[in-house]
Structure 1
Amino acid sequence: MSILSSIKGLFSGGESAPEKAEESIEYKGFMITPAPMKDGGQFRVAATITKGEAEEQKVHSFIRSDLIASRDECIEITVRKAKLTIDQLGDNIFR
């Protein structure tokens, strides 16, 4: 499956569908919520990163092209990539 067809599937209700969201993990004042997406027989790396509460809450969601065979491994990779993004961008992630 190509990346473009995967993205199209996200908006048209195609093959890719979010699994139930996992428990959030706190990292440097940010909350990372892994949300692996089932895609065929594999899982796509996806998560939401938030900071703040109520009206002050900022949200950044991402979906990567990475496909991982194991759901648990996908969650581990998702958290690692989210932490790396936070380390590199900090609050600029919300711009």
Structure 2
Amino acid sequence: MSFLKKLFGGGASSEETVETYKDFRIIPTLQKQSDGYRLSARIEKDVDGEVRTHTLIRADTIASHEDATAATIAKAKQVIDEQGDGLFR
């Protein structure tokens, strides 16, 4: 199916983007809205052999998929800097 999306202009999804930052993985999971894309990401980290996950969802929407992906990653990095492992409490 992803082959058909790429063939007919669907492009890569943000789900395929994984950014590593300070031992955390940031996986954008943008939510399509009528006015653009809602910023959303899954933040993961391996802790004692277990994958810990935090879901980040913002009210912000951005029209461009690429800009929304970049903004989501920047916001996730900010949250990681502020909360670190506290994200998983």
- TM-score tier, shorter chain, comes to 0.7 to 0.9
Comparing both structures, which one devotes a greater share of its residues to strand?
2
Question: Does 1:44 pair with 2:38?
Answer: yes
* Structure 1: gaps spanning 5 or more residues: 1-18
Q: Which amino acid aligns with 2:70?
A: E
RMSD value over aligned CA atoms?
1.8
Question: What's the secondary structure of 1:52's corresponding residue?
Answer: strand
Which position in structure 1 is the counterpart of 2:55?
A: 61
| TM-score, scaled to structure 1 | 0.74
Alignment of 1:1-95 (within 5 A): 21-52=15-46, 56-95=50-89
4+ runs deviating over 3 angstroms: none
Structure 1 residues 11-44: Cα deviation after superposition (integer angstroms, max 9, x where no partner) = xxxxxxxx66132110000000011110013100
Q: How many residues align?
A: 77
* Structure 2: gaps spanning 5 or more residues: 1-12
